[in-house]
Amino acid sequence: MDWYPWIVFLHVAGAFGFVFGHGASAFVSLAIRRETDAERIGAMLRISQLSLMAMYPSLLLLLAAGVAAAFVGGWWGALWLWLAIGVLVLELVVMYALAAPYYMGLRRALTDPGVPNDEVVTTISSSRPIVLAWVGIIGLLIVIWLMVVKPF
């Protein structure tokens, strides 16, 4: 039996789960920018955190099945694979570096009564979610292109 198609299926399923979970979080981050009610913002952030419960296991499936597919398919010598891994790692680092301080600051601003409301408004109106969305979209498209076209 040829396991390769099944492993690729799991890899793609992991990718869809990752995009599904993380996409919900991304849309929440964009919707928050138009919100003014602190309770609604807090509720939206909780929804965003819940969506990550789908994202992280899916990311693990994506990675595990991707490594397995590389072994079974004999892709370790292909430049496109290493470029895709590099783009993924770079994207994870950049996304975390940009997102973590923003969301930690936003959560602190919402829960700390000593934080003035104008700081909450400034944080919410930041362009950071738009930058994060573009980084995510561009990185995802590059990885998909590398995996589908296999140019190198």
Q: What was the pLDDT predicted at 151?
A: 93
Ranges under pLDDT 70 in the chain? none
Q: What was the pLDDT predicted at 114?
A: 77
**For the segment 102-123, what is each residue's pLDDT rounded down to a tens digit?**
888 888 888 888 777 777 777 8
Q: What was the pLDDT predicted at 88?
A: 94
What Cα–Cα distance (Å) separates residue 12 from each residue in 17, 42, 91, 112? 9, 32, 18, 41
Q: What was the pLDDT predicted at 94?
A: 95
CA 36 – CA 20 distance, rounded (Å)? 26
Q: What was the pLDDT predicted at 74?
A: 94
Residues in Cβ contact with 126 at an 8 Å cutoff, skipping those fewer than 6 apart = 33, 102
Domain ranges, ordered by start, for the chain: 4-149
Q: What was the pLDDT predicted at 19?
A: 93
CA 76 – CA 62 distance, rounded (Å)? 16
**For the segment 84-97, what is each residue's pLDDT rounded down to a tens digit?**
999 999 999 999 99
